Amino acid sequence: MASVRFEAVSKVYNTDSKALSDFSLEVEDGEFVVLVGPSGCGKSTTLRVMAGLEEATAGRVFIDNTDITDETPSKRDIAMVFQNYALYPHMTVFDNMAFSLKMRKLPKEEIKRSVTETADILGISEYLDRKPKELSGGQRQRVALGRAIVRQPKVFLFDEPLSNLDAKLRVQMRNELARLHSQLKATMIYVTHDQAEAMTLGDRIVVLKDGCIQQVDHPLEVYNNPCNRFVAGFIGSPAMNFFKAEISKGELLSVNGRLEINGVADGMYTLGVRPEDIIVSERGQFTCSIDVVETLGNEKVVIGITRSGEQITARCRPDADIHPGDDLSFDIDMSKTHLFAVEGVERKI
């Protein structure tokens, strides 16, 4: 396979809006990197620039230290899997998968062997004679994956390939992709807005906002040590709680309570607490009024309003006797809290 390098890549459209701004990233040979962020953050634009479907306004793109910025898409040796499958409706599964190999004028026996082996890996051997309309969404996505795999490209690009599938099938296909990466040892760049996909698939994840990289790291490092408030709020479900906080003389004043804190200058901050670090306790020093209780089977997610008027989300045991309208007492695990500046990029303190 191959390594990939983006050097200060920017993309500006005619409206003068920047889809990408000074995007720099190195992807190692065989690495699975996931680009994650809200709609419009530049994820798909990054893939399209990589594939040659969009022209970079500035910056360079390299594969194995070879500058491909000005190469045509056909010469980049990249396979891209799209959200909408993009299969030829009049062709069989076999012909869809074999199309790029036939265009290269490879021998028929080599094409048949490659397609058959790939279909076996993906579990779609029995569908090779069918047309796409005769397949389910998951089967079509496997065909789209197979069409990319048979080419044996240097780099695989995935543009939200699972977003059209139902929840159960998304989980199944996510596992298939992880298994494929382990088996193929391929370089893969994957775009999604689904943080569960990002956390479970990526060797590293790249969090984007407004065309700019916010943080690049291993999934658990991003989860446990977000670099700013945006990353903290985007990664994690339910989302992190944020409270207004003031630090004065070694005390943190927030959600109508006081907590000891050391080594931080006096001033105003934002306190971040994940729902799993809210400790429900009959003698907790904080209280809230419960608005909503979501029963999920393995847990209950409680949404309430604190006495200071701030919303709070907490995770509770599935057998917890909690109902809307109740008052809930809780403590905060201070060892797992996050402090953020309240100005600029709201960086972590």
Q: Is the pLDDT of residue 252 over 90?
A: no
What are residue 267's DSSP bridge partners? 247
Mean pLDDT of 13-19: 80
**Could you say which of 3.40.640.10, 2.40.50.140, 1.10.1040.50, 3.10.330.20 is the CATH number of the domain covering 241-340?**
2.40.50.140
**What architecture does CATH give domain 4-234?**
3-Layer(aba) Sandwich (3.40)
pLDDT at residue number 311: 95
Domain boundaries, given as residue ranges, for the chain: 4-234, 241-340
pLDDT at residue number 13: 87
What is the pLDDT confidence band of residue 240, given thresholds at 50, 70 and 90?
Answer: very high
When mean pLDDT is compared across 3-7, 25-29, 33-37, 71-75, the lowest value belongs to: 71-75
- Got the DSSP string for 149-203? HTT--SEEEEESTTTTS-HHHHHHHHHHHHHHHHHH--EEEEEES-HHHHHHH-S
Q: Is the pLDDT of residue 114 over 80?
A: yes
What is the pLDDT confidence band of residue 217, given thresholds at 50, 70 and 90?
Answer: very high
What is the pLDDT confidence band of residue 14, given thresholds at 50, 70 and 90?
Answer: confident
Q: What is the mean pLDDT of the chain?
A: 92
| Tokens standing for residue 72 | 């045509």
DSSP 324: T
| Tokens standing for residue 267 | 């001033």
| Tokens standing for residue 129 | 């004679």
pLDDT at residue number 61: 97
Q: Give the long-range contacts of residues 62-70, CB within 8 A, separation 24 or more.
A: 62/4, 62/5, 62/6, 62/7, 63/2, 63/3, 63/4, 63/5, 63/154, 63/155, 64/2, 64/3, 64/154, 65/3, 65/5
Q: What is the pLDDT of residues 132-176, one digit of tens each?
A: 999 988 899 889 999 999 988 999 999 998 888 888 888 888 988
- How many angstroms separate the most distant Cα atoms in the chain? 78
Q: Is the pLDDT of residue 91 over 80?
A: yes
Q: Is the pLDDT of residue 273 over 90?
A: yes
Q: Is the pLDDT of residue 202 over 90?
A: yes
Do the Cβ atoms of 153 and 187 come closer than 8 Å? no
pLDDT at residue number 74: 87
- The pTM (predicted TM-score) of the whole model is 0.91
The residue with greater pLDDT, 249 or 272, is 272
What is the pLDDT confidence band of residue 86, given thresholds at 50, 70 and 90?
Answer: confident
pLDDT at residue number 133: 92
| Tokens standing for residue 109 | 């026996």
Do the Cβ atoms of 60 and 69 come closer than 8 Å? yes
